[in-house]
Amino acid sequence: MDQNLLKQINTDRAARLATILITDLKTGTQRVVRESELDSGDPLHQDLLAAFRGGKSRSLETESGELFLNVYTPPTRLIMTGAVHISQALYPMARACGHDVVIVDPREAFGTNERFPDIDLITGWPGDHFPNLGIDAYAAIVTLTHDPKIDDPALEFALNSKAFYIGALGSRKTHARRVERLTVAGFSEEQISRIAAPVGLDIGAKSPSEIAVSILAQLTAALRLRTSGEQAG
Amino acid sequence: MSDMERRDDILTIAETWRNSGREVALATVISTWGSAPRPTGSQLVIDGDGNFEGSVSGGCVEGAVITEAVGVISSGKPALLEFGVADENAWELGLSCGGKIRVYVEKVN
């Protein structure tokens, strides 16, 4: 591998850009393709698209020989509002699944280091902090306070982002009122339908830990199944 | 970035080692069959003295990969290695889990 290619991959990874390194295993020639610059004229367009979606490295048989696609996708992040009981259960589980976790809650009594040791905890309002978090297609947003003052600005930001998953805690009734508010704020029905609410897979979850499992399962499906319907792991 | 990613960040280690003047090779798992311990895309970085970071098999065949990598560093030519139960060296190399892996080894120029 050329040293400059290695440097480029590392720079892209640090900037949270998804890239694929393509290696011709017979000749050793290599090139790098960025997801943001994927060209529909590329002879490997479909394979590259599927590889970016699945996030999984693989070898590929072509007429001219075997290629290896090494996929580098940014680490996924889970951004939550609410340093609440459910987030106490959810954050270690999310970490175990490989997601970086950020919690935003303006209420000082909730977001204490004692309740959330060793975590990126922001004591402030989502409207002030979400724009600085670099929320991209590898971020998931889950609102857990069911306080419109805190959750609504987070959801409004999420709906304008490329986040791969948006979930909002709250009963059907709470969500119906939320939909009304977001509609008044100018969001279309299609945009609002991106929000998973009531959040989580319907597995009859009762305790905070069980609700965390249902949220994480739904988030995982959103990440791994994406629009291609292709399963990756 | 979490500790786990830092520990696993083979490409950053490769760049750091190269920048400090060390000869460096990268080994990458190209394909796996059966119960291979590390997934496709897993990497190992090796320097000319056989120092390494990362893993391609959770410890089973790293020794052989490192030996090959030192050869790749001196020759400059990439190598495609195969380990597994079908290989007569499998048991001695210790991939006793029944898996099979192919590893691509290349020099960072």
Which pLDDT does position B1 carry in this prediction? 41
From B14-23, B36-45, B80-89, the region with the lowest mean pLDDT: B80-89
Using the structure block, give the residue that is written with the tokens 């090959």.
B68
What ipTM, to 2 d.p.? 0.82
**Is B42 in contact with B26 (CB distance < 8 Å)?**
no
As a dihedral over the C-alpha atoms of residue A195, residue A198, residue A101, residue A81, rounded to 10 degrees, the angle is 90
pLDDT tens digit sequence for A124-161: 999 999 999 989 989 999 999 989 999 999 999 999 99
User: Nearest-CA distance from B10 to chain A in Å?
Assistant: 10
B105 CA: distance to closest CA in chain A (Å): 10
Among chain A residues, the shortest Cα distance to B14 is held by A6
Cβ neighbours of A97 in B, within 8 Å: none
Query: Which residue in the block uniquely carries the two structure tokens 């889990």?
Result: B97
Amino acid in the structure at residue A151? D
Look at residue A6 and tell me whether its pLDDT is greater than 60: yes
For residue A177, what are the CA distances in angstroms to A147, A186, A187? 12, 15, 14
**Per residue, what are the HEC states of A94-112?**
HHHCCCEEEEECCCCCCCC
Say what the pLDDT of residue A15 is.
86
In 3D space, the residue among A102, A106, A137 whose CA is nearest the CA of residue A121 turns out to be A102
Chain B positions in Cβ-Cβ contact with residue A100 (cut-off 8 Å)? 1-2
What percent helix, strand, coil does chain A show, rounded to 5? Answer: 40, 20, 40
B-chain CB neighbours of A74 within 8 Å are: none
Pairwise CA distance, residues B108 & A28, whole Å: 12
Residue of A2, A4, A6, A120 to mutate for B, most B C-beta atoms under 10 A: A6
- A115 interfacial to chain B (CB closer than 8 Å): no
pLDDT at B89: 54
pLDDT at A160: 97
pLDDT top residue among B38 and A67: A67
What pLDDT does residue B92 have?
Answer: 54
The residues that bridge with B47 in the sheet, in sequence order, are: B24
CATH 3.40.50.720 domain locations along chain A: 77-225
A139 min Cα distance to partner chain B (Å):
14
Residue A180: pLDDT over 50: yes
Q: Which of B12, B41, B108 is facing A57, going by the closest CB pair?
A: B41
Q: Read off the pLDDT band of B8 (50, 70, 90).
A: low
pLDDT over 50 at B5, yes or no: no
Q: What is the DSSP letter of A203?
A: S
pLDDT of residue A230: 35
Least confident of A180-184, B40-44, B57-61: B57-61
**What topology does CATH give the domain A77-225?**
Rossmann fold (3.40.50)
For A195, phi then psi, to 5°, come to -80, 125
| From B5, B18, B77, residue closest to A3, measured CB to CB | B18
Question: If you search the block for the tokens 């009531």, which residue do you land on?
Answer: A198
> Could you tell me which residue, B87 or A203, shows the higher pLDDT?
A203
User: What pLDDT, on a 0 to 100 scale, did the predictor assign at position B45?
Assistant: 96
Are B15 and A7 an interchain contact pair (Cβ–Cβ within 8 Å)? yes
Listed by number, the residues of chain A in 49-68 with a beta carbon closer than 8 Å to a beta carbon of chain B are 56-59, 68
Q: Is the pLDDT of residue B4 over 50?
A: no
- Rounded to 5 degrees, what are φ and ψ at A22? -105, 125
Q: How far apart are CA B84 and CA B103, in angstroms?
A: 11
Instruction: For chain A, give the mean pLDDT.
Output: 92
Choose the weakest-confidence range: A134-138, A196-200, B22-26, B81-85: B81-85
Closest CA to A78 of A118, A120, A108: A120
* Pairing verdict, β A195-196 and A165-168: parallel
**Residue A88 burial (10 A CB sphere; 0-12, 13-18, 19+):** middle
The partner residue sitting opposite A10, judged by closest CB among B11, B30, B77, is B11
What average pLDDT does the segment B28-54 reach? 89
% of chain A residues with pLDDT over 70: 97
What is the dihedral angle through the alpha carbons of A17, A46, A233, B91, rounded to the nearest 10 degrees? -110
Beta-carbon contacts of A60 under 8 Å, excluding residues fewer than 6 positions away, are A44, A47, A66, A67, A68, A69
Coil, strand, or helix at residue B28?
strand
pTM (global) more than 0.80:
no
A128-137, A181-190, A217-226, range with the lowest pLDDT: A217-226
- Nearest-CA distance from B108 to chain A in Å? 5
Q: And the tokens for A140? A: 């998931």
Token pair listed for A79: 């951004």
